[in-house]
A and B are shown apart, each in its own frame.
Chain A
């Protein structure tokens, strides 16, 4: 066996996460997407980050 197998499994892992998420009903809406770049948008970041306490 070569790394072809394990690299393919890694790619399949992320593909499975995205597909399961979409099939579970979490479908993005590009018409409600934020501005392409946060800097200069006038809006606060809404993403999750490991440094943030719950609720932030």
Chain B
């Protein structure tokens, strides 16, 4: 068996062929069993997982790099990806209003508070919405432990969403059409300018080629998600649906919640997860990240040891990630990435509130014990 530069044994060719075969078989099985659209969505999810893990494109890590080292390269890549998607999505939403839906939501007190808490929690576990899925798939034990509690939190947050939004919510504001695209691109450029200004002098440089490739790949997949599903890329809804289905199986009457009793949500509770858009892309992200980790031989890494308080913090942070992202009308994917790229003002409000929360979260992380590996 060959050994890579990192000292990890490379995966043999026949095992890599088996990984590709398994991924293709999975997509074909879902397409045949559930429908072509759902097979395509699983394939898009696999693509997200492969791009995010394979090219190490994330959200929590780059925000941490900016806060601690004033290194904006990773956030520049996020802004590039969002800009590319907005150039496709905003015109498409204008030309196909009956077929495509944007990630449009109102700004409100609970929305801002939720985004702040999400930003803090994602820095504690170093995993956002997509990051928790990728981390779990690649065998990161913290991501794996956070995932089920993320789902439970998402279910609970959705169940209480109406109460929270009743605290005060502004009308939905959307930047539409050519003018909306210009505003969105101008705001993205302004944020890039601020980051450049705030960057450490040695970090005032363009992102590495890997990040450009990752940004383009993620943007293409996000546009494919919009075209195939008719809605932008999201993560949190699917996780909450999984927990809601679990609650129903345990005999909980979820229809007591106005959210789960609403016709669309009640329909999705009764339908298969193999026909739910975000469930499929979430499954694909986990499987795609696992595929990349196995391909690289990264699964041979020994698991780190953490103190007990680290696991308690992971469970609490996982729950808060799910709960807060429902109040915030999305996580880094549904609100920040998809909200901004489809012209929603709430995406920008989410970004500001979550980044403020991330500043706090970076300071909380050492207290969690998650940096005390053995």
Contact = CB atoms under 8 A, between A and B. Distances in A.
Interface of A: 1-7, 9-11, 13-14, 17-18, 20-22, 24, 26-28, 30, 32-56
24 contacts: A2-B139, A3-B139, A3-B299, A10-B290, A11-B137, A11-B290, A20-B245, A24-B249, A28-B38, A28-B272, A34-B35, A37-B40, A37-B227, A38-B228, A38-B230, A41-B230, A45-B99, A45-B101, A46-B267, A48-B277, A49-B334, A50-B103, A50-B325, A51-B334
B165 interface: yes
Contacts of B226: 39
Given A26-B273, A43-B99, A48 B242 contact: no
Interface stretch (B56-64, B181-189, B257-265): B257-265
Contact of B286 (A3, A11, A49, A53): A11
Contact of B92 (A14, A39, A46): A39
Contacts of A14: 282-283, 286-287
A3 B230 contact: no
Contacts of A7: 137-139, 290, 293-294, 299
Given A36-B228, A45-B231, 17 more contacts: A2-B299, A4-B139, A6-B144, A10-B136, A18-B273, A20-B249, A28-B271, A28-B272, A37-B37, A38-B228, A43-B230, A46-B267, A48-B277, A49-B232, A50-B325, A54-B258, A56-B264
A32 B100 CA distance: 20
A47 B230 contact: yes
Interface in B300-322: 300-303
Main SS class of interface, B:
helix
Given A44-B99, A54-B162, A54-B259, A26 B271 contact: yes
A11 B98 CA distance: 36
Contacts of B274: 18, 21, 28
Q: How large is the interface on B (under 10, 10 to 19, 20 to 34, 35 or more residues)?
A: 35 or more
B103 A51 contact: yes
Interface string B90-101: 001000101111
B197 interface: no
A14 to B, nearest CB: 5
Contacts of A56: 264
A47 B136 contact: no
B207 interface: no
B270 interface: yes
A46 to B, nearest CB: 7
Interface string B23-56: 0000000001111111010000000000000000
A23 B326 CA distance: 28
B249 A48 contact: no
A55 B161 CA distance: 12
Given A28-B275, A36-B37, A54-B258, A47 B96 contact: no
